[in-house]
Amino acid sequence: MFPDLDQLRAEALQELERVQTREALEAWRIRFLGRKAPLMQAFGRLGSLPAETRREMGRRLNALREELTQAYETKAQALEQAELERELAARWDVTLPGRPVSPGGLHPTTLTIRKIVQVFAEMGFQVFRSREVELDEYNFQLLNIPPHHPARDMQDTFYVDTGTEDDVPPVVLRTHTSPGQIHAMRYFSSLNPDDPPPIRVVLPGMCFRYEQITARSEIQFTQVEGLVVGRHVRFSDLKGTLSDWARRMFGPNVRTRFRASHFPFTEPSAEMDVECFLCGGKGCPVCKYTGWLEILGCGMVHPEVLRNGGYDPERYTGFAFGMGPERITMLLYRIQDIRYFWANDLRFLEQFA
């Protein structure tokens, strides 16, 4: 006698829905798919059926066995997933406070540039930006550095385009922020060509030089350029401005000194030292036991550079300066290798977060 397959199917599926454990699932499998299950025993009685009904009954038995087998496997996967979720829930306490997310921080060079610019902003300077990819004309020629000038040998240059083709000017990655002086002067002089307004700007930015990378030199670095142009601007204004900046930057009691130097775009030129703020001028390894630290180069803007910027050197004078934030940062924090700034090593950068 064969079981009612429709009733057997409905009973098996209803029982399967109520199964909640692996043990109950195994009991269900034995009851409905085991060797002694009514469905499986029905296969052994197929031979007793007449030939005309044997094939149809065999097809129905196979279809029901496959359906119940598939339902069993689906239920087994669901129970396994539920058990895994229970284990995870027992392992992790979701009521505990989460781990704090690190907010990150500014790059040490950025911190120094912001401090430098903030001090100059308090002194009435405004920030002026200029491009990093520059024409050779602005990077050298308009700064009183014509072709074949020996000063070009001091700055190994990345040439984007050498300008060998006709009517194509040489293009470089700027070797200093000084081209911004020409851009700034030409911008302000264009506002009133007959009587250009005075200028007081700082120009921070990235520079590039084709140099061997060492602990003291990199192929990329930042500079902060400064420019003041107006009537009756004197070298004493330069000294007073930079000395006041140094006191605001490094402390009210820091001393400064100026030494004669030479730059093609300033005349006269000088370099400024500040009293070593690590040893107070007593002498230490950082200042090489001299008690002084070189901070920046400066000078009165060369008349030819003023003229190239649209300012009549007979009516206007000015001074300019340039400093390296990486160098200042290295001095402030006693960093011995400039390569740390660009290695993206979190062990180094997280100290400034």
Could you read off the pLDDT of 97-121 as tens digits, one per residue? 888 887 788 999 999 999 999 999 9
- Pick from 74-78, 89-93, 97-101, 233-237 the range whose average pLDDT is largest: 233-237
Helix (H) or strand (E) holding 126: strand 126-127
Binned at pLDDT 50, 70 and 90, residue 25 comes out as confident
Of 68-77, 232-241, 254-263, 282-291, least confident by mean pLDDT is 282-291
Of 69-73, 212-216, 219-223, 264-268, least confident by mean pLDDT is 212-216
Where would I find the H helices in the chain? 5-17, 22-33, 38-44, 51-91, 108-122, 136-139, 179-191, 235-250, 303-308, 325-333, 346-349
Mean pLDDT of the chain: 88
8 Å CB contact between 311 and 185:
yes
Q: Is the pTM of this model over 0.75?
A: no
8 Å CB contact between 218 and 207:
no
Binned at pLDDT 50, 70 and 90, residue 257 comes out as very high
Residue 84 exposed, middle or buried by CB count within 10 Å (0-12, 13-18, 19+):
exposed
Pairwise CA distance, residues 345 & 2, whole Å: 77
Of 91-105, 175-189, 207-221, 268-282, least confident by mean pLDDT is 91-105
Of 159-168, 217-226, 342-351, least confident by mean pLDDT is 159-168
Binned at pLDDT 50, 70 and 90, residue 139 comes out as very high
DSSP assignment string, 239-283: HHHHHHHHHHHH-TT--EEEEEEEETTEEEEEEEEEE-TTTTTS-
Of 129-133, 219-223, 236-240, 343-347, least confident by mean pLDDT is 343-347
Binned at pLDDT 50, 70 and 90, residue 1 comes out as low
293: left (phi over 0), alpha (psi -120 to 50) or beta: beta
**pLDDT at residue 353 is higher than 80:** no
**pLDDT at residue 216 is higher than 80:** no
Residue 124 exposed, middle or buried by CB count within 10 Å (0-12, 13-18, 19+):
exposed
β-strand pairing of 199-208 with 126-127: parallel
DSSP type of residue 101:
P
Stretch 262-284: mean pLDDT: 87
Of 200-209, 216-225, 293-302, 327-336, least confident by mean pLDDT is 327-336
Pairwise CA distance, residues 116 & 125, whole Å: 11
Pairwise CA distance, residues 132 & 290, whole Å: 36
How many residues comprise the chain? 353
Residue 265 vs residue 98, higher pLDDT: 265
Binned at pLDDT 50, 70 and 90, residue 183 comes out as very high
8 Å CB contact between 270 and 278:
no
Can you give the pLDDT at residue 131?
94
Q: Is the peptide bond before 268 cis (omega within 30 degrees of 0)?
A: yes
- Give, in order, the Cα–Cα distances in Å from 116 to each of 52, 67, 70, 322: 100, 77, 73, 12
Q: What is the pLDDT of residues 56-65, one digit of tens each?
A: 888 888 888 8
Residue 16 vs residue 277, higher pLDDT: 16
Stretch 204-227: mean pLDDT: 90
